[in-house]
Chain A
Amino acid sequence: MSFKLSPKLSQQIAYTLLVISTIIVIVPVLTVIVIIIKNGWSALSWEFLTTMPKDGMRAGGILPAILGTLAIVSCAICITLPVGVCAAIYLNEYAKDNLLTRIIKLAIVNLAGVPSVVYGLFGLGIFVMLLGFGVSILAGALTLSIMELPVIITTARGALSSVPYSFREASWSLGVSKWQTIRRVVLPNALPGIMTGAILSISRISGETAPILFTAAAFYVPHLPKSMFDQVMALPYHLYIISTQIPNMPKNIIFGTALVLLLMVLSMSLIAIVARLYFRKIRKW
């Protein structure tokens, strides 16, 4: 009574399902890109990228949002990269496998799972209010850097542990100290991996909205940022505002802004991918 498929037919069905699932993955990505380009392309111009908004942001450019995002993100990476790499060196090269180390590792894993809006609230409480930085580039950058720390630590540890142990042994056996070995042998060989991880992090935090919502981003600032303690406009938040908060917003400016953000993020990822391919090609071990 049981109904049986021939092996050949079941194989066909399985294969088709797998192919369809794979296509489902690509379709939304392509659709998003196509729609944004189609609707936003007409807004793109040199003027759009280099001038201030006009008419209640319904016209003009998005320069302050671009600069704001660049400021927050570059500050954030300057904070998170050194701290993260140092922590990764400690964990990978020095830490003994004991309870404390295991707790630290567990904390890093958990930190990576905290929703980004929670980081935003944390940043509001600590940096904006307690430390008194106010809503500012600095507060936003610190919030983003803490959010990105576990990612940097994890990728940097991966890069460090991919350097063969035999390089370390060779160096030690020449009378080179542990720290000199790390500095002269391990780090140079791990650097490509660390850098590609950092570039991907930059691309990821460029698009983050929630962590800067309460800590750095402003609805509208009529001038460009002058110091670390200024509020700034930022691309992702600006996009949210012009899409939802402003009536009669020209559609091509919304999509044009989205396109600029997308291009920033994608070009970063592309750089990381190309760099990784390049280093994989020249690396011989």
Chain B
Amino acid sequence: MQEEKICPYPGLRPFNEEESIFFRGREEHIEKIISQLQEKKFLMLTGASGDGKSSMVYAGIIPNARAGFFKAKFNSWLIADFRPERSPLQNMAVALAAKLGYRDIAFVEKELGFGFSSLISLYKKSPYYLDLNSETYKNAPEAEQKKLKRKAANLFILVDQFEEFFTNSENYNNGKSSVNAQLVVNLLLETAKIAFSEDLPIYIVCTMRSDYVGQCASFRGLPEYIGFSQFFVPRLKRKEVHQVIEEPAMLSGNKISNRLIETLINECDGQDQLPILQHALNRIWRVHVEDGADEMDIIHYAKVGGIDKKLLPEEQKASFETWYKKQPVFKQKFIEEGASLSNVLNAHARELYENAVDYCRNHIGHDISRAEAHEVLRKIFTCLTKINDSRAVRNRATVLEIKQIIGSVDNKLIEGLVNLFRESENTLLKPFILSNAGNESSSYSLLDTDILDITHESLIRNWTDLTEWTKADHENVSIIEDLKKQVERWEEKNRSSDYLLTIGSLSYFKSWYVGINLNPYLLAKYDSSNLSPKQKREEASVFIPKAKDYLRISEANIKRNRRAVIAIATAIALVLIGFTSWAFMERNKALEKTEQALNAQRLAKQAEDQARESEEEARSSSTEAQESERHALKAKQQAESSKLEALAAKSKAEKAFAEAKLNADIAKSETQRATLALTESEKAKQEAIKSKEAAEKAEKDAFRIGLLSLAQSIALKSELFKSDPQLQGLLAYQAYRFVVENGGNSQDPIIYSAIRSSYHNLNKEAAIPKMNTVVEQRSAKLLSDNVTLLTADKSGSVHKWDLSKEKMMESGMLKYPVPFEMLSFTDWPNILISGHKNGKVCIWDISKITAPVLLKELTGHRGPLRSLDHSRSNEMFATAGKDSSVFVWKYTAAGTELLKQIKTISSIRDLLILPDAGKILLALEDGNLACAEISSGKVNMIYRDRSAKPWCMKLNDEKNLVAVGFSDGKLRLFDPAKIVTAENLIYTFSQNSTPVEKISFNKTGDMLAIASSDKSIKIFNLKNKNQKALAINDIKSKTRYVLFDKDNRLIACGSDHAIRIVQPSTEIVAAPFCELLKRNLTQMEWSQNISETLQYQKTCKNKE
């Protein structure tokens, strides 16, 4: 019969005691820990998240102790383990009562409440304590002694996840620990002290994430004890990772190929490496069993989404393809997208998320839509996470708490959706469903009191959906805080309408409010104060109706205002209509007069024509008369008579002509009058049009301001649609268009943020940095061609990049045996200066990047170097370090000499040579900003902010502004010319709240960028300091170095080893949007997301 195969890899959860047989790779460390614990009775085990601290205790120290490989007084061990969670004292009491045999937990809790030796007393009063020096024991017969020894036990107290003393607001708030937390720590420390001095068999181990060590100072005596006995879990070496992978397989009778081992080792790097590796191995093992394969191999790794099928060995490609085609489409997508070690976890979770719907339908016995099931599942997982210090962490919650937060779900539905995640082959969610229990059905059911918990935080960081949900949840916290502030202000001002929301903000808050189902339980979850859960809910119950009122009244106010605007506009329109009517009447009158004049003119003309005819006749008569006269000469009497008649006719014609002329003049005058009336009418008309235009402009201005406000609201809203890049893009771009078309500021931070976020979502390729290195770059310099970038990292590598191609052109290595602490490019041709851990300063010639040459090694500092700055003009540079000394050096091509050594009272974090080169500005670790005079060596304290330390400094290219970044995130500008006087502060930017780590000015001096420890980059407008800073929040790693190029693009060197080129201009980022967008908003999307009343328009004219 073939033996059933054993899976030796636990997956995402830690190893438990039973699985210690497969726990490998940490033997050496466990030996050291046991030795330390035997001697000191106490141990603070610290390490990064996912370094296997819990596994080391449960599958290393405890089984070794039980197996007799831990030197102690007795054979038996009582393991009292607990997590602090939200009630550390109660949890400690429960754990101790169970192990020491006390039935009354309340009694134990009360006893422990006295602190100090209380825990020792409980142990000594328990049946497991035996004093080997007591007379009773010494005088007892050997058999009795043996019996007593068998019964006695060593006490091992394990406080797992000690950081919960800091991550739960009930234990720690505003930098202070709660009374209960202080008490538990007091008990632990006092017990350890007494056990050490009296050599009692009590051992205390606490496991804690190393990033919380600093916060331990809030507990009296704890830092000292950590100093007394601490073990930092080292990162596994290659050899040990090899053991972690290969030996469990070997021990359990499985086989794993060497090529798979090497592939996994090569990928095993960074945070969460061990849980992700264990999870991947578990998945690989299951797939290889399903395949009936003898050995775990690369093909199985590809089947779980770990490696691209193109990289499979040739002989496995066909087999993989056959299998691949049989998989559901969604699974094909999950295993292909970004195949890597961490994708195995992502693909697994995504697959369960898809499969959970059908599982749920079977479980609850009726249909549920996919969208509804996914929505509830999203809410459940969101309940199980929270944000602590800007980090997403686990948040254990009972089934009842989840129901209260989500509302309208029952246990059956929750079981149906989460059980797949709990099953023994998945174990992404606790409590697990154990397949070996025999009676599986019981564990499938969830009671209200059952606590759900994400198995490991690596799931939050690697399951892309969950990462997005936690981000959105984090945004909810910010929105609620914002809304709370607004409501409070409104209440403080007696609900004044001046403090109500504007149309944009209302639209934003309202759409958020509708989608979130705000209730006291949800608000209590978001509340990070140290109030009790009940108090939090009570506060929330008071707030919710106020918030509702606030939104309702704001909406009513906006409607009222809108109505008023419409009324005014109508009134203006009526006045305009009246005025226009009058103008028309006047015009008509004028036209009438014009017509009359024209008639008169016409009559005059007729008269003139008649006169002209008469004149013609007269002329003709005259001619005839003259002829007659000539004839009359021949006939005397007839001619005399005809001449007299002709003269009379001529006189008559002249009279008629004069009359006609008079009539014409009258007509002309009438015409002029009519024209004048017409001009006046036209003038009145123009004035009426002007008035109308003014009214229209006023209305347009009101409308324009409304649209700008709406644009902000749409921009914020666009962030809610990240899952639909097209819709997000359309909203962001429409917001941008509203701003641009209505004369707004396109560099508004909200618009920029929306456009940038959407651009990266639409064009994912653009979001991926093209310039990557293997070590993070710590210094950079852009050459004058604006294209060549030089960078250097702490391993001593220097690189030359071509920014136009986003490609590394050359690289070389600064060969120096001592680790580099800092590096700095200088303005001197081809010179780079490095500072080292041993205090040495090296000057390098980097004219040939591929082969840098060490020019000079300078000695003087007695400790690691921290900062370096060089004077641009007179070839001088200064170095400073942890030895509280500043060394000023003179550099020339001929050599380098020490000019001055200056001692300070505190070690130096950063230094800056001031423009006149006679003074150096120092950022001291004690919080002072000081100025050192090089000639005298005198150091004057010039500025101090009691709540923050100066962190870094930068001088602009014009040398008339010094920016100093502080540990509380503030950025202060000083005038370097007056820096030594007391009144030297020019301006303080307060828009940042985490330590400023790097500063850069742009070439024209009107922009200033800072990189902060919260991973954001903020850009301040120095021409308009009141303008809100542009924030770049989507870079997921810290920026180690930042600088501007001549085109004001930002070059950021990240801790993820990438060098990014960030475009801080909204206009440039928005330019290709219509090419990236495939459609326009639908009418429905427009009315839902833009406005119901605003007329629909195409966001991109060239799209349907």
A and B from one assembly?
Answer: no
* Residues of B that sit less than 8 Å from A by CB: none
* Residues of A that sit less than 8 Å from B by CB: none
